[in-house]
Structure 1
Amino acid sequence: MVGGVQGERRDQLVAAAFRRVAEMGFEGLRLRQVAEDVGIDHSTLHHHFATKQDLVGAVAEYTTRHFWAAAPQSAEPAAALREHLAALRRMIEDRPDLLVVTAELDLRGRRDPAVAAAMEHHEAGWREVLTGVLAAGAAQGVWARPVEPVVATELVIATVKGVRLTPRVAAQAFEQLEALLIGGASGNAEGERQ
């Protein structure tokens, strides 16, 4: 992001657009209203974003950046997967607006190749990290059954994206996913192996 006043204004515009999408979906995203939310003239918005598409791309980046905090940190694959799923579960509970906006971006991406490309670009890191964790676990034989890392990565992502629509079952879905991949009852797999 650009520093200084210009960077601050740009960040404010992205945050305002994010809120509009979270509240009303893309159908409610109007550049004039985003500019008003930030207290600038509509024409001034175009100094920061030449097109609405540019603003949507910035919203995609802003939204997916929040998921970086859920990246697994542990060097041990099973612990890394558990901590990642726990962080995602907390995010679903604490930041439902992120789920709404990612769902909107995914839906829009099905009709808009530019949004699809932006989401693919921003999710590439997530896929890379998850695939690495799952491949390391496969190499160490820690998973409950043989795992194809790329396919298992898509299973995790599909679960996360699916529970956006029914967040009340997120905890149970993640527990089932954890049990499927790691084995045993959620949180007990390590103890059972020792």
Structure 2
Amino acid sequence: MSKREALIVAAYEAIAEKGFEGLRLRAVAARAGIDHSTLHHYFGTKQDLVDAVVDHATGQVRTGTSADGSREERLCHHLGMVGTMIAQRPELHIVLRELDLRSLRDPRTRATVAAHEEGWRSSLAGFAGAEVELIIATVKGASLCPEQAPAVLKNLCELLRGGRPCTF
């Protein structure tokens, strides 16, 4: 792993453990095994590091919703993968929710998060706009209670399928 990657992972872990309130550049550098002054060689500002953490985190949640199968099959596949990911990797979703909260106060983070959400929306192409927004909001909410996420997303799938069972 490069020093740049080590810094990103260290910042990601710090946010997962302590939130943005606990994100300290000296601690990130120490965790990555480099001197604090060297951190600025890789990231000019703390926000540049946060942007890299956004890329790192969102890159891990791309489910690759397939264009194959019916609309309902794609929906079940997508929600099943996301539910499993939330249950297995709660720290990832803690970081993503922290980024969502920060984006409410910080225009640069908001723009970065919004760009990644557009990728999510495009992966759900073919679904109605209201359905896409309901899926995104439910996934974000379900990630706050990881052990319940698969069941919640299965219920959402069944709701969007008109009550028909969703198997995943």
TM-score range for the pair, normalised by the shorter chain length: over 0.9
Alignment RMSD (CA, Å): 1.4
What residue is the counterpart of 1:191 in the other structure? none
For 2:143 and 2:160, the matched residues in 1 are separated by 21
**Runs (5+) with no aligned partner, structure 2:** none
Kindly state the Cα deviation for residue 187 of structure 1 after the two structures are TM-superposed: 2.7
Partner SS state of residue 60, structure 2: helix
CA deviation map 1:123-148 (0-9, x unaligned):
21111111x141xxxxxxxxxxxxxx
Give % identity: 45
Equivalent in 149, 152, 168 of residue 147 of structure 2 = 168
Q: Does 1:73 align with 2:84?
A: no
Q: Does 1:92 align with 2:71?
A: no
| Preserved contact between residue 10 and residue 48 of structure 1 (Cα < 8 Å) | yes
| Preserved contact between residue 54 and residue 99 of structure 2 (Cα < 8 Å) | yes
For 1:154 and 1:181, the matched residues in 2 are separated by 12
Is the helix fraction higher in 1 or 2? 1
| Preserved contact between residue 87 and residue 150 of structure 2 (Cα < 8 Å) | no
Higher RCO (C-alpha 8 Å, min separation 6):
2
Q: Does 1:36 align with 2:30?
A: yes
The one-letter code sitting in structure 2 at the alignment partner of 1:178 is: C
Larger Rg: 1
| Preserved contact between residue 31 and residue 42 of structure 1 (Cα < 8 Å) | yes
| Preserved contact between residue 71 and residue 126 of structure 1 (Cα < 8 Å) | no
Which aligned runs of 4 or more in structure 1 are off by greater than 6 angstroms? none
Kindly state the Cα deviation for residue 150 of structure 1 after the two structures are TM-superposed: 1.2
What residue is the counterpart of 1:155 in the other structure? 134
What are the within-5 Å matches in structure 2 for residues 1-194 of structure 1?
8-68=2-62, 70-76=63-69, 77-130=71-124, 132-134=125-127, 149-187=128-166
For 2:31 and 2:77, the matched residues in 1 are separated by 37
Partner SS state of residue 72, structure 1: coil
Partner SS state of residue 67, structure 1: coil
| Preserved contact between residue 142 and residue 153 of structure 2 (Cα < 8 Å) | no
Query: How many correspondences in the alignment?
Result: 166
For 1:164 and 1:90, the matched residues in 2 are separated by 11
The one-letter code sitting in structure 2 at the alignment partner of 1:154 is: E
The one-letter code sitting in structure 2 at the alignment partner of 1:110 is: L
